[in-house]
Structure 1
Amino acid sequence: MATTGHGPSQARLAALLYFRPGRSADVLCADMDPVSPWSTATLNARLQGLRRALGNDPAGNAYVPRRRSGDDPYELSEAVRCDWARFTQLAQRALPQGTAGLPDLEKALGLIRGRPFGTRPLPWAEPYQQEMSTRIIDVAHTVATYRTPTGPHHDLTAARQAIATGLDVDDSAELLYRDWMRIEHAAGNRAGLHTAITRIQDINRKIDCSLENETEQLINDLLGPTGGRARGR
């Protein structure tokens, strides 16, 4: 889908139809712009553009079905798939499996492309964004926790990638910065450790928030003369 012109609004409309199907025209118009709701003509024009962009399934049925009457709900075809559904499926299957679930957890993170719904989500999307961010951070933390210690699953490159993916979603997730510090400490990368510390300090300064006690303790431990072992979350 195009990233210019009406492409972004069509993408937001597709997300709205996927996550909240069966809404009326009035509700969709208000959800797409609460301050200045779309007109029905604008909604229909964006739907036509979305229909062209998504095309048809192998059987020739439109992924954005045409409504047969004014009472029909606005919705996408059941054949439309979303990466978030796949992420959830992989994570739910993998998390209870411990280290055996690592391949699926890393596949799930591979589906993530930055912050869900972007940096300025519409009001209807905000609860979904919060839930998604929380789940992504949990998966990223779990992967880093399994990949950082020495042993058969040790892979600091994979651990760093998990943290980078999580921080793309929420760059203030202090839990992930603690994971990042542990990764650089395990790698013997003093400069990388200082980078992680400086980054979370800068982020918290911008949002006028103090470091969590566990983060402060971890920094003291890792920068201390013995470079103590990191524990906890």
Structure 2
Amino acid sequence: MKDLEAALSLVRGRPFDGQEYPWAVSVQQEMLSRIVDVVHTLATWHTAGDTPDWDAARAAVLRGLDIDETAEVLYRDWIAIEQAAGNHSGARKAAARVTEVTRAYHISMDARTEHAIAAVLEESRDLAAAHGDA
């Protein structure tokens, strides 16, 4: 895990950001895919076991989303982290952000992401009902 964290710390923004190299398009996509994979793996590791590190998991995911804001798997990770940590407003923020990004880029949302958002909305309704806000 330390090697992956060290590797992620070396990433300085989106690969080839602002550059127009026709040969770099596929290289850039491959690099983004690998970065997202590393971030997802770190988030999974930080949330596993008896003593999850929500802050480290969240930091990895947010770092990954700074690099690739369209990575739905990282939004699902973020939503799951916030829900498991009991941070309902954080889960709603993540759900709102992925909805905004998919609309802005005209991306069809993955069914797993839609399910995660539905769970956040249901949780919000349940909390509101429990507090007499419904």
Provide the TM-score with structure 1 as the length reference.
0.50
* Residue in structure 2 matched with residue 139 of structure 1 by the alignment: 38
The correspondence for 1:115, drawn from 4, 7, 14, is 14
CA-CA distance at 1:209 after TM superposition:
2.1
Deviation at 1:210, TM superposition (A): 2.6
Deviation of 1:213 after TM superposition, in Å, equals 0.5
1:175-216 residue CA offsets vs partner (Å, 9 max, x unmatched): 100000011111111111111111111111111223110111
Hey, what's the Cα distance between the residues in 2 that align with 1:121 and 1:164? 26
Runs of 4+ in structure 1 over 6 Å off: none
**Structure 2: where are the runs of 5+ without partners?**
128-134
For 1:112, the aligned partner's letter is V
Match for residue 173 of structure 1?
71
Mark the structure with the bigger radius of gyration: 1
Q: Are the equivalent residues in 2 in contact too, given 1:114–1:165 (CA < 8 A)?
A: no
Q: Over aligned residues, Cα RMSD in angstroms?
A: 1.8
- Which residue in the other structure is 2:59 paired with? 161
Match of 2:82 in 1: 184
| Matched pairs, number | 125
Deviates further, 194-203 or 113-122:
113-122
Q: Distance in 2 between matches of 1:124 and 1:223?
A: 43
- Supply the distance in 2 between the matched residues of 1:192 and 1:119 (Cα, whole angstroms): 31
Letter in 2 for 1:196: A
Sort the Cα spacing of 1:119 and 1:176 in 2 relative to 1 into closer, same or farther, 3 A: farther
Give me the identity figure in percent. Answer: 46
Partners in 2 of 1:188 and 1:122 — Cα distance? 44
- Mean alpha-carbon deviation: is it higher for 113-122 or for 165-174? 113-122
TM-score of the superposed pair, with normalisation by structure 2? 0.84
**Counterparts of 1:177 and 1:210, CA distance in 2:** 14
Q: Which residue of 1 aligns with 2:93?
A: 195
Report the counterpart of residue 113 of structure 2 in structure 1: 215
